[in-house]
Amino acid sequence: MNRYLAELVGTFVLVVGGCGSAVIAGDKIGFLGIALAFGLSLLAMAYAIGPISGCHINPAVTIGALIAKRFDSKHVIPYIVAQVIGAVLGAAVVWVIADGMPGGYDPASRGLAANGYGAHSPGGYGVVAAFVAEVASRSFSCSRRPPPPTSRLRRDSAESPSVSC
């Protein structure tokens, strides 16, 4: 499997596993269940495609790795294209499954696992609160630490694991 196909598959799995849990069973499994679905989907993909592509499965991670000079620029556009295709395919699968519910599913009124601020936030949080939460969570999850010295992957390699940032 080449790195671009790996990114497509990884993003697809994350969208179906994470967003799918929110859309299809969110009212039954709650926030903790949704968080676990996202986390387990990401963990599974880190093991499955991490050695192939680095398991970015998000354009923000790919761009972050580029800015941190941990990723070759020639792979950025193909990675992002693969990630977007994987996300669209995953969203289509979630929509088809959700539409099979009694009464169907209207993403225009219920969203399709979208989040945001105001009416699109579970707690109705405003834009400033959403921005501060986003910045704070990213500052905790991103790190400039190099991989451990025992890593079999080179630090400047395109395959360098970049799951956290």
pLDDT of residue 149: 58
- Asked if residue 148 belongs to a domain, the reply is no
The Cα 40–Cα 115 span in angstroms is 20
Number of domains in the chain: 2
Residue 24 placed within a domain: yes
For residue 156, being part of any structural domain is answered with: no
Amino acid present at 43 = L
59-85 pLDDT, tens per residue?
Answer: 989 998 899 888 899 999 999 999 999
Domain-embedded: residue 165: no
CATH code: domain of residue 50: 1.20.1080.10
Q: Closest Cα to residue 23, out of 123, 76, 95, 130? A: 95
- Whether 20 and 83 map to the same domain: the answer is yes
pLDDT for 45 equals: 96
Write down the pLDDT at residue 141: 59
The alpha carbon torsion through 31, 33, 39, 45 (nearest 10 deg) reads -130
One domain for residues 89 and 11: yes
Residue 90 maps to a domain: yes
Please tell me the predicted confidence (pLDDT) of residue 164: 45
Q: Are residues 68 and 124 in the same domain?
A: no
68 and 123 assigned to the same domain: no
**Site of tokens 């598959």:** 9
Instruction: Examine the domain organization and report whether 44 and 124 are in the same domain.
Output: no
Q: What is the pTM for the complete model shown?
A: 0.78
C-alpha angle 68/127/123, rounded to 5°? 110
- Which is nearest to 114 in space by CA: 94, 131, 97? 94
* Interaxial angle between packed helices 3-14 and 20-53, expressed in degrees from 0 to 180 and rounded to the nearest 10: 160
Domain residues for 127?
A: 116-143
Residue 161 makes CB contacts below 8 A (sequence gap 6+) with 46, 50, 54, 55, 147, 151, 153
Which segments in the chain show pLDDT lower than 50?
154-165
